[in-house]
Amino acid sequence: MNKIPSVNLADFLSDDAERKQKFINEIGDAYENIGFVALKGHFLDDELVGNLYAEIKKFFDLPTDVKEKYEIPGIGGQRGYVSFGKESAKGKKEGDLKEFWHFGQYVDADSKYAKEYPENVEVEELPSFNKVGKEAYQMLEKTAKYVLRSLALHLGLEETYFDNYIKKGNSILRPIHYPPITTEPKGAVRAAAHGDINLITLLMGAQGKGLQVQNHKGEWIDAIAEDDELMINVGDMLSRHSNNKLKSTIHRVTNPPKELWGTSRYSIPFFMHPVSDMKLDVLENCIDENNPKQFEDITAGEFLDERLRELGLKK
């Protein structure tokens, strides 16, 4: 595959069995071959998208000392602000050329996950920031639920197989700011080549060059979404669970050409995580004599902890 396929969630949500099956076939084929799709028909409307970008630009424009008061020690960067250059890709010494914010799951005080999940961090200077972030989080979570339902059917599972694992799951909404580049980067890029940790990632802000995906031949291809599309890819958790039937594809964000160094880039990935006690053991119906079991048994929480240490976000 040399381009990212485009699908429309409206097909899956329709009452027409043929349209629904067409969507399942298209997304399943894309995830077996390249690991990425561009998705129309999601639950984010233009007004919400516009409001979210406006709020995150206001936040990243705040003075550094104001932003840094929202950097919370001891939680592995799971909520609030993470400052420029803190995160690096697995196996890479140089920090990525980005700063970012984390919105996490919203749970009631009596939820069994209330002690596990850090609280979301309120930005005093921006009264609408957290409200808009929460609304976008919930619309992306809703979109992800139906994408996972289609993948459950593709894998021969019951349609709602993933529903209970993602309900109150440890998902993260991460607005990212790639600031203007002021000096020649020494081996650093905006986001070095990596695979995602989670089940699936829904990415806002892939309009324009920068995001690249590695195909099976090892070639880097541009992943550019239309204005009304989200880019959605498989993460390592889903790849493990499906015995690598669904591919977690290596991707990166390259530095722009020198004439565009003075520009910022913003992107907003939503990392769909399950609850920590979900078993990621390889599904029995993804094992056969040609595809023996490739991965050890592990829970989602154990796998996440392992990967956060590799990324330098947890000690």
Token pair listed for 185: 């980067």
- C-alpha–C-alpha distance, residues 119 and 76, integer Å: 13
Which segments of 31-168 are extended strands (E)? 36-40, 80-82, 99-102
- 124 vs 260, more confident: 124
The architecture CATH gives domain 6-310: Sandwich (2.60)
- C-alpha–C-alpha distance, residues 111 and 116, integer Å: 10
- C-alpha–C-alpha distance, residues 311 and 95, integer Å: 10
Look at residue 299 and give its three-state secondary structure: strand
Is the full-model pTM beyond 0.75? yes
What would the pLDDT profile of 287-308 be if each residue is shown by its tens digit? 999 999 999 999 999 999 888 8
What would the pLDDT profile of 110-162 be if each residue is shown by its tens digit? 888 999 999 999 999 999 999 999 999 999 999 999 999 999 999 999 999 99
Q: For the chain, what are the domain ranges?
A: 6-310
